[in-house]
Chain A
Amino acid sequence: MTTTATTKVRKKGPRDNGAPDYKQNLHPLMVKNYGKWAYHEFVKPGVLVYVAENGDKLWVVRAGSPRTLSVDKVRKICDIADRYAEGYLRFTSRANLEFSLAKKSNIAPLIKAVKEELGFSVGGTGHSISNVTHTQGWLHCNLPGTDAAGPVKALMDELFEEFVHDDKLPMRVKISASCCQINCGGQADLAINLQHHHPPRIKPEGVGICELPKVVAICPAAAIRPRATEGQTTLEVVAEKCMYCGACHGQCPTMEIRDAQTDTLSIWLGGKTSSTRKGPSFMRLAVWGLPNNPPRWPEVSGAVKNILSAYKQTGRKFERLGEWVDRIGWKKFFELTGFPFTKYHIDTTEMARSTFNTSAQVRL
């Protein structure tokens, strides 16, 4: 199962070069004003200006990229940065491009070049929907139950107006997508995550390649145990204990957790990493059982748009999605969106009681 690499003697062992020197990669105005920025302003959707204490201005243009880029596309990006942005650029944690410009007059031609030469659009600032962070999916992961870049492309086509404007929402909405229940896509205001629906199916003939004690140990539900059959040690799963997380699948590929027929997608709401206002929060289950429907996953896009429509109508300025639901209550959320509240929405973990309404405060 394991591919053996051809051994070839190299010149040297590990080089341990470390990180590239960031100082060699900074725009000259960043070097000049390092740590001396006074304030910033939103100029228009996708464009900000950072003003230094000495009055220097650095104009920033943000464009949405698909994250997966050919070298040819990256070279075109470099061409544009050379022409209009003094030869420097930045990528954000959400795979947006950010060009930093010394000259305001370069903004318009840069935006035109980004549109015409790259096919990218400018936006993702202010109260917008910025680029969706996502995982590898079928393009290159060994564990996914669905694709990631594909659903994201399909979703961003639907949410394009919210990307290129910065005033269509009460506050910014960060979205993530994860292609298995390891959920590498991370917490977000709104997350689209794959959900498995049965215990792993063990392929007994393949168990031999795995370290069985490690597979047993990794199960958070203690549902996996060794079993000796006909002189061979294999594994078995206690179905009642298994919570279908797939932790074992990452440890041992024969613990096949995925199912093309039954895997579905769920939508989670209210994750927030920033400490603003009431601080960070985790997202909560909102919608479950959406079909895993390539190539464009229309049911997912539809559900997301439904939620965002309710948020647009009743959210207050500067109120993130989770804060909005906290204020109006989940009862109102399910009324506004029409999604059902079910027993599966109720927490069953050891944290469960902390999520119950332990008060007489009810909305009637």
Chain B
Amino acid sequence: MADKIDTSMVDELESGPWPSFITDLKQLSKRKPAVGQLLGQLNQSYKDKWNYWQGTVLNVDGYGGGIIARYSELSSQYPAIAQFHTIRVIPPAGWIYSTKTLRNLCDIWDKHGAGIMQLHGMTGDILLLGTDNETTFDCAEELFENGWDLGGSGGALRTLACCVGPARCDMACFDTMDVTTHLTNTYISQLHRPEFPYKYKFKLSGCPNDCACSMQRSDMPIIGTWRGPMQINQAEVATFVKEHGEQYVMDNVITRCPTNCITLEKKKKIVVDDANCVHCMHCINVMPKALRPGKDKGVTILLGGKRTLKIGDTMGSVLVPFMKLETPEDYQNLTDLVDRVWDFWGSNAHDHERVGEFINRVGLGTFLEGIGLAPDPQMVRAPTSSPYIKFEELAPGRFGGESKHNPAVRSEEVEAMERAE
């Protein structure tokens, strides 16, 4: 069969210096016929500029997600990919593996599936491409027996992702790896059994460089930061200035500060106005030996980031400017906050409404009341410029400012009371 499959279009992707997934999959197809047929279908897509996968639903017993089920519209031509599903698997935090762990995954996957892996999907899952209905269950069973677990899909908590954090980075301001694992395991039921209006993603970055891309790709970005003075090694500052020159430091460090809070004194000493430092990381990035985050570390928690469907892109916005995230009590404070957000969003959001979209609809002020969090000026760039505000404390009348003297102004609540009377 394999030698009859037309791959003439995708063959064009075998040349060039960048590694070719086509070449790799062709090799694999020698012992996995389904992969050859997959390339055949892909080639057909290239020819027709058309897609031949349909989505469907398939769940492992006890799980409400984690399997991205596909069947081919060209199954008469390519029967081996009639059913060709993706299994999402939760990776170890930070995508760091021992080869023992990774080989175990390879062995299970080689035994049950087509042997295609993606490391990793856009959410951060390990993606295993190529099972039929029956082998999906067999593979899942063996994954479970080996300590692996399925990732999230649908209106559920999605698989979490984080940067490498304290495992290998000098800028990490909290333990991204541990908090990611803690949240995953605390909320494993919400991850496996969709109960939300729509998806909910956490991404955790150890510092505001945001290597986990949490701002724009997660509903709840958790980003490491610090309060109090930045750590400065003045000897290293002097060395840096000597090596690069004063002009370089002025052009690439001092003048790039968004709040103008950093100065170079006497061509060898850096002084930071820490109260006005917004922890943007630029100066630390350029001079990592001389400058470091402060010692009193914690996190900034934001809410509402997502990609473009349906109201356009949203970024996370500040929910908690600073909190410590070190002790079991701190972890409890975080999960308490998450529970309150999920409770209010889950009870009031429309179907398919991400938490950022929900906040856009009801207003951040209403949302804060709903989750029991006091407004904080750091949550906004500036106060509103619109004078049309319903000041609840200042309104006369019985029902949130509705004047009882004006019969033309009626609220649904008044009408309901009148009907009851």
Contacts and interface: CB of A to CB of B under 8 A. Distances in A.
Nearest to B289: A39
A280 B300 CA distance: 15
A21 B92 contact: yes
Contacts of A73: 24
B24 A24 contact: no
B213 A186 contact: yes
Given A40-B288, A74-B119, A88-B99, A93 B17 contact: no
Interface string B181-195: 100110011001000
Contacts of A279: 258, 280
A90 interface: yes
Nearest to A159: B18
Contacts of B246: none
A273 B212 CA distance: 9
Contacts of B185: 18-19
A276 B285 contact: yes
Interface stretch (A58-66, A229-237, A330-338): A58-66
A133 interface: yes
B279 interface: yes
Nearest to A131: B18
B194 to A, nearest CB: 13
Contacts of B55: 142-143, 253
Interface string A150-188: 100110110010010000000000000000011111110
Nearest to B31: A72
A105 interface: no
A17 interface: yes
A37 B144 CA distance: 35
A42 to B, nearest CB: 10
A277 B118 CA distance: 34
A121 interface: yes
Interface stretch (A7-15, A196-204, A302-310): A7-15
A142 B280 contact: no
B99 A81 contact: yes
Contacts of A214: 351-352
B170 A92 contact: no
Q: Could you say which of B71, B124, B167, B223 has the most chain A C-beta atoms within 10 Å of its C-beta?
A: B167
A340 B378 CA distance: 40
Interface residues of B, number: 136
Contacts of A100: 168
Contacts of A27: 96, 168
B270 to A, nearest CB: 15
Q: Could you say which of B15, B102, B149, B178 has the most chain A C-beta atoms within 10 Å of its C-beta?
A: B102
B211 A25 contact: no
Interface string B42-84: 1001101111111111111111000011110000000000011
A91 B119 contact: yes
A70 B12 CA distance: 19
A176 to B, nearest CB: 9
B149 A19 contact: yes
Interface string B101-133: 111001001100001111110101000010001
B388 interface: no
Contacts of A220: 309-311
Interface string A1-38: 11101101011111111111110111100100011011
A244 interface: no
A25 B115 contact: no
Contacts of B96: 22, 25-27, 30, 88-90
A89 B97 contact: yes
Contacts of A189: none
Given A74-B106, A276-B281, A318-B256, A25 B21 contact: no
Contacts of A157: 15-18
B101 A25 contact: yes
Contact of A274 (B109, B208, B307): B208
Nearest to B193: A14
A70 B28 contact: yes
A55 to B, nearest CB: 13
Contacts of B16: 153-154, 157, 160
Interface string A189-233: 000000000000000000000000010011110000000000000
A125 interface: no
A294 B49 contact: yes
Contacts of B147: 17, 20
Contact of A16 (B136, B149, B180): B149
9 smallest beta-carbon distances between A and B, as pairs: A14-B62, A157-B16, A220-B310, A142-B55, A275-B208, A35-B166, A138-B45, A18-B185, A156-B18
Interface of B: 9-10, 12-13, 15-25, 27-28, 35, 38, 42, 45-46, 48-63, 68-71, 83-84, 86, 90-103, 106, 109-110, 115-120, 122, 124, 129, 133-134, 136-137, 141, 144, 147-149, 160-161, 163-164, 166-170, 172, 175, 177-178, 180-181, 184-185, 188-189, 192, 208-217, 223, 251-252, 256, 258, 278-282, 285-286, 288-289, 292, 307-313, 315, 350-352
Given A21-B92, A30-B96, A153-B22, 10 more contacts: A27-B168, A69-B117, A70-B115, A78-B102, A82-B99, A93-B124, A186-B213, A273-B213, A275-B215, A318-B256
